[in-house]
Amino acid sequence: MKKSLVIGGGFAGLSAAVYLSNKNHSVTLFESSPKLGGRAYSLLNPETGSYYDNGQHIMMGCYKETLAFLSLINACHLLEKPDSLSITFVKKRGGIYKLSASSHYYPFNLLKALLNFRALRFKSRIKIIDLFLDLVCCYSCDLKGKTIKEWLLDKRQTDEAIRDFWGIIAIGALNTGIERASAPIFASILKRIFFDGTESSAIILAKSGLSELYVNPSLDYLNVKGAEVKLSERVIRFHTEQNKITKVITNRATYDNFDFIISAVPAYSLRQILQSSSIENVRIPELEYSSILNVHLWLSENPFSEPFYGFLDGEIHWLFNHGSHISLTISGADRFNDLTEEKILETIYSDLEIFFAIFKSSLVIDYKIIKEKRATFIPDMKSIELRNTIKSEINNLILAGDWTNTELPSTIESAVLSGRIAADSVD
């Protein structure tokens, strides 16, 4: 029986451990914190007694790897899975618009949904459809070296379409503005969302918190398979002999009985371990990161009726309605990193009152603000080149994580895919 150590208990580490266990491999997973979940987990608000996620994570029907992973750990019943695209957008002063497709007659249902999206002028809608039709025949060489903005301008998209459609999709999918983000990776994402069947464009939300959705089911699955999970145990360094790791030293013990190691921690965390181990033949890129700001508001009464809203031309990008509280997400939020909570709330309340006449700041009875300063790497042209150089020349060290070369941006899907690929490479 192969014995593997997995470092990191987020989506990548848990998927790697689950897939290894599914092949009846012996698995020990190390997580440096006292909880599993990595950058996607649930917290308890002691004031209200309710749980909230550190950040709202959107999934889509095109997340094939994520859905397969959740199916394996028997967690798909915790998802709300619509049959097709349906998003409620809001404009300033209360304009509400639906971008909604029927579940039949793909792909004409998506074309009709775009034609009927009256938040945009007719000319903008036609230009958007024109670009989608062009994308069917678009090859990556046509976009090489271009940013999203350069690509959109080349395709003569209107300012309105760029700001209120493409920009909204890009910031949500890539956590980076169109001025920097890579056109090839954006085109790849668009093809996955819109050109792989009606269900691929549907936004999937969890009925529960993230910990209940995937952390607890993963732990249950690993326990049944006899895997060990060691919390609050941090890997400090490796000992190598003849280009192979022979010992893993943690803050608690030394381990020498294993065949493979899967590292599923962020690039900067792995780099620290390698530096402490004096290992130089593992190529880890210096990626740039972008932040996400999440603000959770508990309300005395909830005036919102939709499960979520997208904002057109606002500071806030998304509002998610959890009943007892709402979660607000601002992507590419570096400008908020040094602001006080008071300044952040002032901005949030102002935006909400401009977009929703039904909202008053007096409704707020509690709040939590979470700044994820290194939430995702920036998917620009430089990062694409750097990810192509990632390589472990240590014979028994396998790399996983959303930052590895999955050809996807920094998403749940990328993390899960990397974990599955890492597990498959253990033979």
Whether residue 232 sits in one domain with residue 124: no
Helix 64-72, helix 11-22: angle, nearest 10:
60
For position 141, what pLDDT does the model report? 58
What SS3 class is residue 310?
strand
Written as six digits, the tokens of 104 are: 């039949």
Measured between alpha carbons, how far is 230 from 161 in angstroms, rounded to an integer?
A: 49
CA 273 to chain centre: 25
Whether residue 283 sits in one domain with residue 384: yes
Whether residue 392 sits in one domain with residue 259: yes
Q: Is residue 113 part of a domain?
A: yes
Secondary structure (DSSP) of 122-153: HHHHHHHHHHHHHHHT--GGGTTT-BHHHHHH
Whether residue 152 sits in one domain with residue 25: no
Final residue before a domain boundary, out of 182, 200, 218 = 200
Written as six digits, the tokens of 132 are: 């989608």
Measured between alpha carbons, how far is 84 from 61 in angstroms, rounded to an integer?
A: 8
Residue type at position 5: L
Whether residue 394 sits in one domain with residue 276: yes
Burial class of 173 by CB neighbour count within 10 A (0 to 12, 13 to 18, 19+): buried
- The CATH number of residue 336's host domain is 3.90.660.10
Taking the chain (427 residues) in runs of 10, the rounded mean pLDDT of each run is 95 98 97 95 93 89 97 97 94 91 92 95 96 78 88 96 95 94 94 92 94 97 98 97 96 97 96 94 93 97 96 94 95 96 97 95 97 94 93 96 95 97 94
- Asked if 28 and 230 touch (Cβ cutoff 8 Å), the reply is yes
- List, in order, residues 6 or more apart from 68 with CB less than 8 Å away: 420
Final residue before a domain boundary, out of 168, 200, 232 = 200
301-318 burial string, b = 16+ CB within 10 Å, else e? ebebeebbbbbbebbbbb
Task: Indicate the number of domains in the chain.
Answer: 3
Cis peptide before 107 (omega within 30 of 0): yes
Q: Which run of H or E residues covers position 30?
A: strand 26-31
- List, in order, residues 6 or more apart from 62 with CB less than 8 Å away: 192, 193, 196, 200, 201, 413
Whether residue 166 sits in one domain with residue 19: no
- The CATH number of residue 125's host domain is 1.10.405
Residue type at position 260: F
Measured between alpha carbons, how far is 323 from 197 in angstroms, rounded to an integer?
A: 31
Whether residue 350 sits in one domain with residue 332: yes
- HSE-CB for 344 with a 13 A CA cutoff: 23
For position 52, what pLDDT does the model report? 94
Q: Is residue 87 part of a domain?
A: no
Whether residue 269 sits in one domain with residue 410: yes
- Asked if 292 and 175 touch (Cβ cutoff 8 Å), the reply is yes
Whether residue 267 sits in one domain with residue 395: yes
For position 139, what pLDDT does the model report? 55
Domain of residue 142 covers 99-200
- The CATH number of residue 33's host domain is 3.50.50.60
Whether residue 413 sits in one domain with residue 325: no
Written as six digits, the tokens of 46 are: 């002691």
Strand bridging mode 235-241 / 244-250: antiparallel
Whether residue 282 sits in one domain with residue 334: no
Measured between alpha carbons, how far is 221 from 31 in angstroms, rounded to an integer?
A: 17
For position 94, what pLDDT does the model report? 78
Whether residue 348 sits in one domain with residue 314: yes
